[in-house]
Chain A
Amino acid sequence: MELNAGLVCRGLNFRWPGKNADEPPVLEAVEAVFAQGTVSLVTGNTGSGKSTLMHLLAGLLHPTAGEVWADGQPVSRWPSRHRDPWRRQVGIVFQHLALIPDLTVGENLLLPMIPRPITWSRMQEEIRRQLEDAGLSALADAPTNTLSGGQRQRLAIARALVARPRFVLADEPTAFQDDHHAARICAQLCDIAREGAVVVIGSHDPRLRSFDGIDRRFHLASATLTGAAVNQGAP
């Protein structure tokens, strides 16, 4: 395994622009390694900064100080012309899902595939595979705004995974799921990690805390990230 493989936070600070300097930062001196082939869970209360951390890891936000490294590259330092194409290696599940309501389920999955240099047939194959994994095959032609909350969330996860990303960042991926589907989503994310991806889940869902597939657990509180490895057998 490559020494620096995975996502690494080095002294990561984040403060919203325009906020007073005497107000507490959202994240302060965050040091963390999200290793390749592992599933990491970041827990914390609502508003503790989990989503912000996800957005920093995905390169959607700039850290105020510190750096995010991906596979040994300081991606947070890169200008947008380099970071934008790098984001093709990232699959992000937004807390608010961010689906396009007037597109069909299949077309929502097509969105991340369009700019990639792969054929139309291959795109369709990948979408078919992902729909089967998400249990949404029968709804491929359905407009997204006709789906239930749980189906929409599974679609958002499928969209994050359809292009086989190297880094998967899932913000509250089981919020609208029943126990069966929550377990299925966890298993799906574990499978992705076992295939070599870096999976980071941000959630305060108690069902995830007790899930066996989690390799590392972090807790975010008072802008500080603390954590420990739990599955020592993981690569």
Chain B
Amino acid sequence: MMPGTRYPPMVIWAARDIQRHCGRSMLLFACLASLVFLTAMALLFSQALDATWERLMDQAPDLVVRRIDGGGWAPLPVDVAMACAKKIPGVIDPTPRLWGVVPGPEGPVTVVASIAVVPESMLKGIPPPSAGQAVVGQGVARALSGGRLSLGSNHSVTVSVIHTFPADTGLATHDLVWMTPDDARPLLGLVPGQASDLAVHLFRREEERAIQADLAAAFPWPVRITDRSTSALNHHTRAVRSGGIAVVAGIPALLALLLIITGTVVDNTARQAYWGLLKSMGWTTADMVRLQVSRAMIVGIPAVVLGLASAYAAVFYPPAAGITAFWVTGGQHLPALTLVSSGAAMVMIEIAAMVGLPFLAAVFLTTLRAADGSPWTLLQADPWN
């Protein structure tokens, strides 16, 4: 007794048909895969960047209050600022921040000093810096020589680096130098009792616009208040625009796909005699559509899956993600990204549908049109007549 086969004969015959037109099928495969890759990479990247931003921004203070004067930003007296902020209903946990951007060995770095004690559960083995010490991010650690770091230009400070922030915290700590307030103040041009600005959390986040006026009025000097929603909106607009621009890069591949589909239509026309022969042997139009759709799926599904998987790897696997970011965002030096994957599945399904469904529809319609003729007429288009 002969063994059977696990696949329906129609599907086997569709694969045999692909073998018969190997070059065309390979071209179609490459075109579909590259189209999916280019589109998916751009959209996945902008979506993932947006999601990551949103997740991280969820932790950011609702409002940041900075003092301004005629010369620009001015240091903020901590005690006065705290007292003023606490008077406003709805404001919780106002925190003075000591931070600033200072020149480092290989470009600007963000210097921070925590006035409050960082809880032990956060540190996870990272020793808090003492006087003359610093903990630095991965981006700063790369530029170190001999474990010492010199910062600043006018008031230069040299600290010894005692630890590096873990790589998985890079999205917050990549360019960070964490030191004691006493070491940071000379760098930032602050005296004791002063802070760079005031971070404010609100009881109700949706009140962040409404409360700004009260807060501004509560301080005895002019202030500039930045809210989180504005920053998030700016970023969202930017991410969407980056994604859109990158999708435009896929247009050549889209044109190539159209060319291939046109080629498939021409191929179908040339295969009219084949369709006529099949009809004369009892194949129905539905059988032929099944054959062509099976053929399209045998080529299309692996191409789409390969395109999606490559795009996924390019976006989510550092350092490939860094290269993608560099390309998609137009040359910014981003840290190695570890992006949030929630929502990525939906984007991938959307792209598979966006490319796969029109392709299958084109195959379906052209086959229906080519095969739905009289078998005798179809047979006349053959080389044997």
Residue pairs across A and B with CB atoms within 8 Å: the count is 86
Chain B contact residues: over half helix, strand or loop, or mixed? helix
Q: Are A84 and B282 in contact (CB under 8 A)?
A: yes
B4 and A88 contact, CB distance less than 8 A: no
Beyond A80-B374, A110-B13, is A85–B379 a contact (Cβ under 8 Å)?
no
Contact B382 A98 (CB under 8 A): yes
Contact B282 A112 (CB under 8 A): yes
Residues of A within 8 A of B284 (CB): 81, 84-85, 115
Bitwise interface map of B from 251 to 285 toward A, beta carbon under 8 Å scored 1, else 0: 00000000000000000000001100111111111
Q: B146 at interface (Cβ–Cβ under 8 A)? A: no
Contact B379 A98, beta carbon cutoff 8 Å = yes
Q: Which residues from B are CB-within-8-Å of A97?
A: 384
Interface string of A112-123 (1 = CB under 8 A from B): 111110011101
Q: From residue A100, how far is it (CB to closest CB) to chain B in Å?
A: 7
* Chain A residue at minimum C-beta to C-beta distance from B371: A84
Interface core residue of A87, A116, A124 (most chain B CB under 10 Å): A87
Neighbouring B residues of A120 by C-beta, 8 Å: 4-5, 9, 12
Query: Does chain B have a CB within 8 A of A125?
Result: yes
B285 (CB) vs chain A CBs: closest residue: A84
Task: Among A81, A98, A125, find the residue whose CB has the most chain B CB atoms closer than 10 A.
Answer: A98
Give the docked Cα–Cα distance between A102 and B19 (Å): 11
Q: Is the CB of A60 within 8 A of B376?
A: yes
Closest CB-CB distance, A57 to chain B, in whole Å?
12
Interface assignment of A131: CB less than 8 Å from any CB of chain B: no
With most chain B CB atoms within 10 A of its CB, the pick from A80, A84, A116, A123 is A84
Please give the residue numbers on chain B whose beta carbons come within 8 Å of chain A beta carbons, in ascending order: 1-5, 9-10, 12-13, 16, 20, 273-274, 277-285, 287, 291, 372, 374-376, 379, 382, 384-385
Given A58-B280, A110-B9, A114-B287, list of 17 further CB < 8 A pairs? A55-B376, A60-B374, A61-B376, A80-B374, A81-B284, A87-B281, A96-B385, A97-B384, A98-B384, A102-B20, A107-B16, A111-B278, A111-B281, A114-B283, A115-B283, A121-B1, A163-B282
> What are 12 A-B pairs with beta-carbon distances under 8 A?
A60-B374, A60-B376, A61-B374, A84-B279, A84-B375, A111-B278, A113-B9, A114-B13, A120-B9, A121-B1, A121-B4, A125-B2
